Amino acid sequence: MTNNIVIFDTTLRDGEQSPGASLDINEKVNIARQLALLNVDVIEAGFPVSSPGDFESVSRIAREICGVSVAGLARAVEKDIDSAARALEKAEKPRIHVFLATSEIHRKYKLLKAKEEILNLAVKGVKHALKYVADVEFSPEDASRTELDFLIQVVEAVIDAGAKTVNIPDTVGYAVPDHYASIIRGLKENVKNIGKAVISVHCHNDLGLAVANSLAAVKAGAQQVECTINGIGERAGNAALEEIVMALKTRRDFYHCSTRIVTKELIATSRLVSTLTGLRVQRNKAIVGENAFAHQSGVHQDGVLKERSTYEIMKPEDIGLQKTKIVLGKLSGRHALKERIKELGYELSDEEFERAFEEFKHVADKKKEVFDEDIEAIIGVEKMDVPNIFQLESLSISCGPNAVPTAGVRLKLQDGHVVDNATIGDGPIDALFKAIDLSTGIPGKLQDYNIRAVTGGKDAMGEVSVNVEVNGKSVRGRAVSTDIIEASAKAYLNAINKVSAKSK
């Protein structure tokens, strides 16, 4: 039997508390609409008493968003609860979420109250909220550091008072999975009326354990998880909704739980929240990070191309991505390059492919990532099928405001011999081409010289095209490289090789 886990999204309340994140009313409403498409069960829209703006945003979301419960947060004091009730008046399914700290450290230093006072205030807060709505949630703040016997008393009392959901917050991210699961089990075993309420969990990520703690609690019997998109929230953040949901989906065999979440909306929701809050998602973030479904190792690429499940436990389509990303770089192998060339619509002979692969490796050593445009440029050069009668081994350039431009080249000939020459010129390119003329014995006259950036960025591939006049005939040469001087030399040699090949 599979249990349904209620997903309570607090992106618009706890998530907005992330340092550096601030949303206006329209942005909050836009996110709420996307959360409704994602099919979360509860949207915690804000803390109405905290500011007029928060009150208005909760009120608008309550009016405009249908098919989902809308919650407003309130301390266990009447003015907070009254404010939340007014903001939620037009909600289709309103929920008031009342909280009160229960741990010894909070009782002693923040509230200055004894256990009996805390119990009375908690019960009073729940009962006051029930005057307005039928759905009341109660959170004993800092529950993970509250003495278990006192936590049991509080939970039992608020359920008796009418709370439909009791949330057990790990407010400061202090818990570890076994400890947190033991709290949930302790409540399930010792709270007499536990069956009358949903047990919820709300974990912070101060030790990087928010998701692990939440999942451990689910395994121990929790029925609701409170989380945020991209894991944003106070300090180090909250449990990430996308990680919770996909863990339950991927490991249903272990958790025997499911959610109502439309997982294909995860990427769209993540990107919207990132854009509107200004909080970028790290590349290696699980599920929604740029690298989550990207492979750069040649071994991994080969495995994924043969059978995706070799290195992927989820389908990218399930979260709203079109496909796995094969990142071509210096670690990529022949299989990955060959597949990408096919995807781009090119067919190469074995000989052409080997030349293209050799050039690809040369480019990849200079760039972090080789893009499709780079590959097309490489293919364009290799498809010309020009024999390397003269092959560039190395070059050197010396130039500057007060220096005579000088270029040196080393060429390898078809018979294996190596030729070195250096000359001066009007500029570095002129000197370079004169050194090539001297080394090949084929004088050329440059008619046209063009440079084009194939891709963006500082490591962009540069494409050089030249027209060279040799013996009264115009010959075109072309080459690509991240080094524009190298590309110039190769383009000129490409033209000279064409002339040389025809004369043989």
Q: What is the pLDDT of residues 338-379, one digit of tens each?
A: 888 887 767 788 888 888 888 888 888 877 778 776 787 777
Q: Strands, DSSP E only, in 425-484?
A: 445-453, 462-470, 473-481
| pLDDT confidence band for 382 (50 / 70 / 90) | low
Dihedral pair phi/psi, residue 482, rounded to 5°: -75, -15
CA–CA gap between residue 201 and residue 214 (Å, rounded): 6
- Per residue in 125-162, pLDDT tens? 999 999 999 999 999 999 999 999 999 999 999 999 99
Count the domains in the chain. 3
Q: Residue 230 half-sphere exposure, CB side, CA atoms within 13 Å? A: 30
Q: Are residues 368 and 422 in the same domain?
A: no
Q: If you average pLDDT over residues 193-220, what whole number do you get?
A: 98
Q: Is residue 474 part of a domain?
A: yes
Q: Strands, DSSP E only, in 93-213?
A: 94-101, 136-141, 165-170, 198-203
Q: Are residues 136 and 184 in the same domain?
A: yes
DSSP state for residue 280 in the 8-state scheme: P
- Per residue in 46-97, pLDDT tens? 999 999 999 999 999 999 999 999 999 999 999 999 999 999 999 999 999 9
Q: Are residues 456 and 475 in the same domain?
A: yes
pLDDT at 280: 87
With beta carbons less than 8 A apart as the criterion, state whether 455 and 374 touch: yes
- Per residue in 7-16, pLDDT tens? 999 999 999 8
Q: Are residues 266 and 302 in the same domain?
A: no
Q: In which domain, by residue range, is 342 found?
A: 294-382
Q: Are residues 187 and 65 in the same domain?
A: yes
Look at 225 and 383; give whichever has higher pLDDT: 225
pLDDT at 2: 63
CA–CA gap between residue 427 and residue 403 (Å, rounded): 10
Dihedral pair phi/psi, residue 364, rounded to 5°: -65, -30
Q: Are residues 311 and 408 in the same domain?
A: no
**CATH code of the domain covering residue 48:** 3.20.20.70
pLDDT at 39: 98
CA–CA gap between residue 45 and residue 240 (Å, rounded): 17
Q: Are residues 372 and 469 in the same domain?
A: no
pLDDT at 316: 87
Q: If you average pLDDT over residues 388-406, what whole number do you get?
A: 91
Residue 333: C-alpha distances to residues 223, 295, 378 (Å):
46, 12, 16
Q: Is residue 288 part of a domain?
A: no
Percentage of residues in the chain with pLDDT exceeding 90? 65
8-21 burial: b if 16+ Cβ within 10 Å, else e: bbbbbbbbbbbeeb
Single out the residue in 222, 250, 277 at which a domain terminates.
277
For the chain, the farthest-separated pair of C-alpha atoms sits apart, in whole angstroms, at 103
| pLDDT confidence band for 311 (50 / 70 / 90) | confident
Give the pair of three-digit tokens for residue 152. Answer: 């049991």
With beta carbons less than 8 A apart as the criterion, state whether 436 and 489 touch: yes
DSSP state for residue 228 in the 8-state scheme: B
Q: Are residues 355 and 468 in the same domain?
A: no
Single out the residue in 325, 358, 382 at which a domain terminates.
382
Q: If you average pLDDT over residues 94-116, what whole number do you get?
A: 96
**CATH code of the domain covering residue 431:** 3.30.160.270
Q: Is residue 304 part of a domain?
A: yes
pLDDT at 439: 94
pLDDT at 367: 73
pLDDT at 455: 67
Chain-centroid distance, C-alpha 355: 35
Residue 471 has pLDDT above 60, yes or no: yes
329 burial level (CB within 10 Å; 0-12, 13-18, 19+)? middle
Q: Are residues 127 and 217 in the same domain?
A: yes
Q: If you average pLDDT over residues 89-113, what whole number do you get?
A: 97
- Per residue in 208-255, pLDDT tens? 999 999 999 999 999 999 999 999 999 999 999 999 999 999 999 999
- Per residue in 424-446, pLDDT tens? 999 999 999 999 999 999 999 99
Look at 250 and 468; give whichever has higher pLDDT: 250
